[in-house]
Amino acid sequence: MVSENYNEAIELIRKSKYTIALTGAGVSVESGLPDFRSPDGIWSKYDISKYAYLANFYEDPKRIWDFVRELYSSYSDAKPNIGHISLAKMEEMGFLKCIITQNIDNLHQKAGSRCVIEFHGNITHLRCLKCGKVYKREERDPFKWEVPICDCGNPLKPDFIFFGEGIFEDVLNRSFEMAKKCEVFLIIGTSAEVQPASMLPLVAKESGARLIDINLKPSRITLDGYSDYFLRGKFTEIMSKMVKDLEGEK
């Protein structure tokens, strides 16, 4: 049975020596970044089959960069919300080891979180698919280069994961290691339906961790009966309350 008892969930987090969080688009909605797939999300404007696949980048890097420039513009205006800031505080207070995020928006880092694994890559770097060289965005500013080019002459790709592209091995290894080690696993602002990120809470559960789902709607993990707790509500409200309650007991 999935419990909705907030006090018990907080008690688990307080006692846990190793808590990690998996976050998704839901945590950035209150920063004004709609989920890609929501009615006002990016895929309502752009045809996903022309912009989201690795093959699209090989076909026409300029088309992809025009699209990515728009993405970057909306991201650079976005600010972390009180939920992001609360997660950073939890880390500072010793109640959270690391965040594994499916977001590429850089908002956890902007909020001050130090341990952030970017499961799907990021908007802060560019990568050459031919020689593997990685550049900071400032080094090949896409607002100055129509198509940023590597020293080797190949077009650079934004360093986030396109459909048809694998997750980086070091990212996978670190994430799954943490999932195996953790005592409490938080599922926040994600429906946990996208593979392989959705495997992480299940691996944690199998290794003995307790799962706490914090979402507006129960995630797939809760619907399938794996969560121990489901806390329903807005990310910003639940996380700021949680930090106050954790602080209160120090």
**Residues 94-133 vs Zn ion: string with x where CB under 5 A?**
----------------------------------x-xx-x
* Contacting residue, 41, 112, 142, 154, with Zn ion by CB under 5 A: 154
**DSSP 3-state of 179:** helix
Taking CB under 5 A as the binding criterion, the range among 60-68, 69-77, 142-150, 182-190 that sits at the site for Zn ion is 142-150
The least distance separating Zn ion from the CB of residue 53, rounded to whole angstroms, comes to: 21
Q: Return the ∠ at Cα 190 (arms to 174 and 86), rounded to 5°.
A: 80
Please report which residue ranges of the chain form alpha helices under DSSP H: 6-15, 48-51, 54-59, 61-77, 82-92, 107-111, 169-181, 199-206, 220-223, 235-248
The least distance separating Zn ion from the CB of residue 132, rounded to whole angstroms, comes to: 7
The least distance separating Zn ion from the CB of residue 148, rounded to whole angstroms, comes to: 11
Please indicate whether residue 84 is annotated as part of the active site: no
152 binds Zn ion (CB under 5 A): yes
The least distance separating Zn ion from the CB of residue 150, rounded to whole angstroms, comes to: 3
Estimate the share of the chain in helix, then strand, then coil, as percent rounded to the nearest 5: 40, 20, 40
The least distance separating Zn ion from the CB of residue 160, rounded to whole angstroms, comes to: 18
Instruction: Considering only residues 166 through 185, tell me which ones interact with Zn ion, judged by CB under 5 A.
Output: none
Supply 41's token pair. 């999300």
Return d(Cα 76, Cα 78) in angstroms, integer: 6
Question: Which CB sits closer to Zn ion, 130 or 217?
Answer: 130
Confirm if 64 and 156 have CB atoms less than 8 A apart: no
Question: Which CB sits closer to Zn ion, 46 or 135?
Answer: 135
Question: Which CB sits closer to Zn ion, 89 or 140?
Answer: 140
Cis peptide before 158 (omega within 30 of 0): no
The distance of Cα 24 from the centroid of its chain, to the nearest Å, equals 5
End-to-end CA distance of the chain: 30
Confirm if 99 and 84 have CB atoms less than 8 A apart: no
- Contacts with Zn ion by CB under 5 A: the residue count is 7
Question: Which CB sits closer to Zn ion, 152 or 194?
Answer: 152
Taking CB under 5 A as the binding criterion, the range among 60-68, 117-125, 153-161, 204-212 that sits at the site for Zn ion is 153-161
88 binds Zn ion (CB under 5 A): no
Taking CB under 5 A as the binding criterion, the range among 29-37, 64-72, 154-162, 210-218 that sits at the site for Zn ion is 154-162
Question: Which CB sits closer to Zn ion, 50 or 133?
Answer: 133
Confirm if 235 and 241 have CB atoms less than 8 A apart: no
Pairing type for strands 229-232 and 121-128 reads unpaired
| Residues that bind Zn ion in the complex, under the rule CB under 5 A | 128, 130-131, 133, 150, 152, 154
